Structure 1
Amino acid sequence: MNLLQDFPAPETYEITGSGCYDSAFAVSELANASFAAVGQQMALLMQAIGLSSRVLPVTVDQRLASLWFGYSFAAQGWELPSLWDPIAGNYRCRDGWIRLHTNLPHHRAAALSVLGCAEKPDAVRAAVATWDGEPLETEVVAQGGVAAFMRSRSQWLAHPQGRAVAQEPLVNWVAPSPVSLRHRSIATAARPLAGLRVLDLTRVLAGPIATRTLAGFGAEVLRIDPPGWDEPGVIQDISLGKSMASLDLRYSTDLQRCKDLLAQADVVVHGYRPDALEGLGLDHATRDQIGPNRIEVTLDAYGWTGPWAKRRGFDSLVQMSAGIADTGAKWARANKPTPLPVQALDHATGYLMAAAVLNAMTTAATTQRAASARLSLARMAEHLAKMSQRLRGPKITAPQPEDYAPQIEDSSWGPALRLRPALKIGTTQMQWDSPAQACGSAPARWSNA
Structure 2
Amino acid sequence: MTWIDRTLLEHVWSAVGGHEELPDQVSFSGARVLSSTYPVADLASAVVGAAGLALAEFAAAGGDAAKVRVDRRLSGAWFGPTFRSSGWEQPPTWDAIAGDYRCADGWIRLHTNDFRHRQAALAVLGVPDTAVRPASRDAVAGTVSGWPGEKLEAAVVAAGGCAAQLRSSEEWRNHHQGMAVAHDPLLSRVFTDIASPPTGPGPVDRPLRGLKVLDLTRVLAGPAATRFLAGFGAQVLRIDPLDRTESALEVEMTIGKHCARLDLREHRQTVLDLLADADLLIHGYRPGAMDRLGLGERELHAARPGLVEVMLDAYGWAGPWRGRRGFDSLVQMSSGIAHPMSSDPDAPPIPLPVQALDHATGYLAATAGLRGLSERYRTGLGSVSRVSLARTGILLQDFKSDRDEGPIEEVDLSGAQTEDTFWGPGRRLPGPVTVGGTKMSFSVAAAPIGSAPAAWA
Contact map agreement 1:153 1:322 (CA 8 A) in 2: yes
**Post-superposition shift, 1:66?**
0.5
Q: Distance in 2 between matches of 1:149 and 1:388?
A: 22
Give the equivalent residue in structure 1 for 2:315.
302
Q: Which of residues 92, 97, 107 in structure 2 aligns to 1:87?
A: 97
Instruction: Confirm or deny that 1:203 pairs with 2:199.
Output: no
Q: Which of residues 130, 139, 144 in structure 1 aligns to 2:155?
A: 139
Contact map agreement 1:207 1:269 (CA 8 A) in 2: yes
Structure 1 residues 248 and 370: alpha-carbon distance in aligned structure 2, compared to 1, 3 A threshold: closer
Contact map agreement 1:403 1:419 (CA 8 A) in 2: yes
Give the equivalent residue in structure 2 for 1:241.
256
Structure 1 residues 393 and 404: alpha-carbon distance in aligned structure 2, compared to 1, 3 A threshold: farther
**Post-superposition shift, 1:431?**
1.1
Deviations 1:111-156 (A, max 9, x none): 1111112322111111100100001101111111110000000000
Q: Which of residues 13, 17, 28 in structure 1 aligns to 2:30?
A: 17
Deviations 1:35-93 (A, max 9, x none): 110111111112226xxx41211110000000001111111111101111111110000
**Post-superposition shift, 1:333?**
11
Give the equivalent residue in structure 2 for 1:166.
182
Q: Distance in 2 between matches of 1:114 and 1:315?
A: 22
Give the equivalent residue in structure 2 for 1:41.
54
Structure 1 residues 403 and 130: alpha-carbon distance in aligned structure 2, compared to 1, 3 A threshold: farther
Contact map agreement 1:94 1:132 (CA 8 A) in 2: yes
Length, aligned pairs only: 436
Residue 251 of structure 2 aligns with an amino acid whose one-letter code is Q
Q: Which of residues 348, 352, 356 in structure 1 aligns to 2:360?
A: 348
Structure 1 segments, 4+ long, off by >6 Å, are 6-11, 331-334
What SS does the corresponding residue of 1:324 show, helix, strand or coil? coil
Structure 1 residues 102 and 262: alpha-carbon distance in aligned structure 2, compared to 1, 3 A threshold: same
Deviations 1:374-406 (A, max 9, x none): 000000000000115677443145x3322422x
Deviations 1:318-343 (A, max 9, x none): 0000001004x549999211100000
Give the equivalent residue in structure 2 for 1:312.
325
What SS does the corresponding residue of 1:189 show, helix, strand or coil? coil
Q: Distance in 2 between matches of 1:435 and 1:35?
A: 23
What SS does the corresponding residue of 1:109 show, helix, strand or coil? helix
> What aligned pairs does 1:4-403 form with structure 2 within 5 A after superposition?
4-5=16-17, 13-48=26-61, 53-118=63-128, 119-180=135-196, 182-183=198-199, 187-251=202-266, 254-327=267-340, 330=342, 335-388=347-400, 392-396=405-409, 399-403=411-415
Contact map agreement 1:3 1:359 (CA 8 A) in 2: no
Contact map agreement 1:34 1:348 (CA 8 A) in 2: yes
**Post-superposition shift, 1:11?**
6.3
Structure 1 residues 6 and 68: alpha-carbon distance in aligned structure 2, compared to 1, 3 A threshold: farther
Contact map agreement 2:47 2:360 (CA 8 A) in 1: yes
Contact map agreement 1:20 1:392 (CA 8 A) in 2: no
> What aligned pairs does 1:402-421 form with structure 2 within 5 A after superposition?
402-405=414-417, 408-421=418-431
**Post-superposition shift, 1:178?**
2.1
Contact map agreement 1:161 1:307 (CA 8 A) in 2: yes
**Post-superposition shift, 1:183?**
4.0
Q: Distance in 2 between matches of 1:82 and 1:6?
A: 40
Structure 1 residues 242 and 332: alpha-carbon distance in aligned structure 2, compared to 1, 3 A threshold: farther
Q: Which runs of 5+ in 1 are unaligned?
A: none
Deviations 1:364-383 (A, max 9, x none): 11111132110000000000
**Post-superposition shift, 1:6?**
8.4
Query: TM-score when scaled to structure 1?
Result: 0.92
Instruction: Confirm or deny that 1:433 pairs with 2:443.
Output: yes
Greater shift after overlay, 347-356 or 361-370? 361-370
Structure 1 residues 7 and 349: alpha-carbon distance in aligned structure 2, compared to 1, 3 A threshold: farther
Greater shift after overlay, 331-340 or 291-300? 331-340
What SS does the corresponding residue of 1:326 show, helix, strand or coil? coil
**Post-superposition shift, 1:362?**
1.0
Structure 1 residues 199 and 295: alpha-carbon distance in aligned structure 2, compared to 1, 3 A threshold: same
Deviations 1:158-195 (A, max 9, x none): 1010011011000111353323554468x111111101
